[in-house]
Chain A
Amino acid sequence: MRLRFDESVEAFRAELLDWLAAHRPSAEEMAADPSISTGHAPDWARRWTRQMFDAGWLVPGWPPELGGRNAGPIETLVYIEELARAKVPRTTNVQGLGIVAPSILDYGSEAQIRDYAMPILRGEKTACLGMSEPGAGSDLAALSTRAVLDGDRFVINGQKVWTSGANYADFCFLFCRTDPDAPKHKGISIVLVDMDTPGITVRPLPEIIRPEHPDLNEVFFADVVVPAENLVGEMNNGWAMANGSLAHERGMVWVSGVMSLEESMDRLRGELPAITAGLTPAERAVAIDRVVELTIDTTAARCLGYRGFAKLAKGGSAPEQALMKLFASEVRQRIALVGAEVQGAAAIEVGAVDMDGHLSVDEPQGTWLEQYFHSFANTISAGASEIQRNIIAERVLGLPRS
């Protein structure tokens, strides 16, 4: 156990910071042409992703031909931390770079890698992730969108919902039922579907905050024809791939979530003297106590992350990792809630804080009350908190299934 990084890691950090200082898009450039959906990549974002790819800074853990430099996990952790500190996203298409591209690289054909994965890495295409359906949310394996193999093509019918970025994405990483007779986990396949294919209708679903820029969508498929070669991996093996593809960089990405908690707490502590100025001493003491408690939570999130990471980096299993999503998303929610409550009546005013250039579910933006509502994105998506508790209880603690 120790608190500092090795010199070689610090040298890596210094090299990254130099490169970022010389090449990063400016805050003004990003704000002038903001990304308005996770499927939308403004020109600066496309250029920037390409630049990172060419310089081997896009996914440092990967080899140079995939936009990396064969960096180790500790370097990757430092990399993610520094990007978050610099407030510059690698991509605005988080699900494309984080989940879709790695999955295609792992399981896809050469042609799929060439036509779908590499264009994401070079900032040329964006992808959306079509998993959830009206009847299949937490119980994802209950999905019913059908893909029927008909000679050398699939015919797809059904509906997805909550598909982030589908209103702008170039293609969809689509989970479909290909064997309705098999047990529900065994009849699912993944198909790559270009979003301009006839028969697809996208209906944006304006969100609880910022309805003018919807990121969520309903996507309807009516006799959509897709070449059979767009099947990713093996037929009916989609469920196993879903679990594999969510694991990429999972040991490291927590740190950007922690950094956004720290950023929020810096803001809250900074605002505290002004927003508590009108309170009685007793009221102020209560407010301060709640802010301190969240400061402890935020520090705990970082330490918990480091503990899990240390075990992973040594090749062990890290139960702490299972706790991170649950803990960080709930802390985020409490920070925003306490911010609004401490602020008092002024918290109901909207538009008081500018949104910046890019969107992401990790990004705390807007007033405290806006952030509070937005924070449910993290406690609901990617396995709601209740599902996380089930997973911890059953898989980590070994409690019997209900």
Chain B
Amino acid sequence: MDFEFTDDQLELRDNARRVLASACPPSLVRSVYEGGGGADDLWATLIGLDWPAIGVSEEHGGLGLGFLEAAIVVEELGRVVAPSPFLATVTQLAPMLREAGSPGLLAGIAAGDCTGTLALAEGGAWRTDAVHTTARRTGAGWVLHGEKSHVLDGASADEVAVVARLEGTAGDDGLGVFLAAGDTLSAQPRPVIDPTMPVATVTLEGAEVGGDRVLVEPGEPGAAPAIARALQEATTAMALSTTATCRAIFEATLQYAKDREQFGRPIGSFQALKHRLADMYLAVERASSLAYFAALTIAEDDDRRGVAASMAKAAAGDCQRLVAGDGLQLHGGIGFTWEHDLHFLLKRAKSGDLLFGTAAAHRAQLARMLGLAA
């Protein structure tokens, strides 16, 4: 039992932090917010450093590092609000490919040749029982009908893994996963509050997918567990990212409380603020601890991974609720301005909570997993 990173992992974190300090400064985030460019250069830099290869095994052209290493990078990207296809490609599409046992594209992902995402949610629910999109066999291929909501990078990803089900099935039955090329799909980008987490609605009205692009054959016995496992990985990554953003908000707020003076002394000397900062800190550590636990259960393929992923995501949601609110409040007027960088963090934290299931949605999920609710 060991809940601390190894020296190699700590070094990876330091390196990642150093790289991002110059490759992803707040000015880049601002540029993306204000409609300018820069995100592509960042992605090119990350590809140059082999980051997309981190979670991919060596036999598929990756670095052969595990989920903990991917988690470290996800955290660092979350800390700086990086606008990057990393989250959707490496933590959403790649796990689905791996679980489906179709490594074909992994080499492309590792090499940075293609980006991707997972189209699961419908109507804002990231549960397989909420999937209504249907798959119908036509000759050699399949035709998909339905609408996918909140697909991260849905309008820009090269490859989209679409979860659909056989007509007339429900629950875990009849589920399958299909790989659609992004440019064959109708994706409507949604105007969102955080442009570093762009989502799209993907409409599948008779979209055709070739038989060679079936990742998980509908109705296959292992289909639902494979999807669940990929979803656990994506959910845990979103929890890690969101918690890391919260830590950045907390650190910025703590520094501000030490620097800002009113009534002749630093505002951080007022006990009312001290106690709020102590509680923010506790919320961040609570969420981090659970996120690392979830990451460990994935890295070691532990039975508790479903429960741990939902706990981590729920705790990340609780954390941002406190930290985003108090972080803004404790900054006073300056935090309310567009010019100050704080709002990038705040909006990223909110998006991270609301995507892949809110805290309440994951508690409901946990109630089912713990046998407390049907």
Contacts and interface: CB of A to CB of B under 8 A. Distances in A.
Contacts of B296: 1-3
Contacts of A314: 4
Given A323-B281, A389-B279, A1 B2 contact: yes
Interface stretch (B24-32, B284-292, B349-357): B284-292
B289 A291 contact: no
B311 interface: yes
A83 interface: no
A272 interface: yes
The 7 tightest CB contacts between A and B, nearest first, are A393-B274, A303-B289, A310-B4, A306-B3, A389-B278, A399-B268, A392-B278
A71 B295 CA distance: 30
Contacts of A399: 254, 257-258, 266, 268-269, 274, 277
Q: How large is the interface on A (under 10, 10 to 19, 20 to 34, 35 or more residues)?
A: 35 or more
Interface in A286-303: 288-289, 291-293, 295-297, 299-300, 303
A351 interface: no
Contacts of B5: 1
A17 B278 CA distance: 39
18 contacts: A4-B300, A269-B372, A291-B372, A292-B364, A296-B290, A300-B315, A304-B285, A304-B289, A306-B3, A327-B282, A327-B286, A389-B275, A389-B278, A389-B279, A398-B258, A402-B269, A402-B271, A402-B274
Nearest to B251: A397
A303 B268 contact: no
Given A2-B296, A392-B281, A400-B268, A311 B4 contact: yes
Interface of B: 1-6, 9, 68, 254, 257-258, 265-266, 268-271, 274-275, 277-279, 281-282, 285-290, 292-293, 295-297, 299-300, 302, 308, 311, 314-315, 360, 363-364, 366-367, 370, 372-373
A253 B2 CA distance: 17
Interface in A384-402: 386, 388-390, 392-394, 396-402
Nearest to B289: A303
Given A1-B295, A306-B1, 6 more contacts: A1-B5, A296-B366, A300-B286, A304-B285, A389-B274, A397-B278
| From A3, A289, A310, A326, residue with most partner B Cβ within 10 Å | A3
Contacts of B373: 285, 288
A135 B12 CA distance: 53
Contacts of B266: 399-400
A100 B225 CA distance: 54
A221 interface: no
Contacts of A397: 254, 274, 277-278, 281
Contacts of A310: 2-4
Contact of B282 (A306, A326, A386): A326
Interface of A: 1-5, 74, 269, 272, 285, 288-289, 291-293, 295-297, 299-300, 303-304, 306-307, 309-311, 314, 319-320, 323, 326-327, 386, 388-390, 392-394, 396-402
A393 B277 contact: yes
A289 B365 CA distance: 10
A310 to B, nearest CB: 4
B246 to A, nearest CB: 14
B4 A300 contact: no
A272 B289 contact: no
Nearest to A399: B268
Contacts of A289: 360, 363-364, 367
A390 B274 contact: yes
B278 A1 contact: no
A1 B3 contact: yes
A288 B1 CA distance: 31
B274 A394 contact: yes
A230 to B, nearest CB: 39
B124 to A, nearest CB: 19
A186 to B, nearest CB: 25
A1 B288 CA distance: 14
A296 B317 CA distance: 12
A281 B233 CA distance: 32
Contacts of A389: 274-275, 278-279
Contact of B302 (A3, A297, A303, A386): A3
A291 B363 CA distance: 9
Contacts of A293: 314, 363
A401 B278 contact: no
Contacts of B277: 393, 397, 399
Contacts of B314: 293, 296
A296 B363 contact: yes
Contacts of B293: 299, 303
| From A1, A2, A306, residue with most partner B Cβ within 10 Å | A1
B300 A2 contact: yes
B290 A303 contact: yes
A386 B177 CA distance: 52
Contact of A292 (B3, B68, B271, B370): B370
B318 to A, nearest CB: 8
B372 A292 contact: yes
Nearest to B270: A402
Contacts of B299: 1
A390 B281 CA distance: 13
A3 B275 contact: no
B275 A288 contact: no
A292 B286 contact: no
Contacts of A1: 2-6, 9, 68, 292, 295-296, 299
Contact of A309 (B3, B285, B286, B370): B3
Contacts of A5: 1
Given A1-B296, A291-B372, A310-B2, A300 B275 contact: no
Contacts of B315: 296, 300
Contacts of B275: 386, 389-390, 393
Contacts of A4: 1, 300
A307 B281 contact: no
Contacts of B372: 269, 272, 288, 291-292
| From B1, B5, B311, residue with most partner A Cβ within 10 Å | B1
Given A304-B285, A397-B277, A398-B258, A296 B367 contact: no
B9 to A, nearest CB: 7
A2 B1 CA distance: 5
B278 A393 contact: yes
A307 B4 contact: yes
Given A288-B372, A299-B293, A393-B275, A304 B363 contact: no
A307 B3 contact: yes
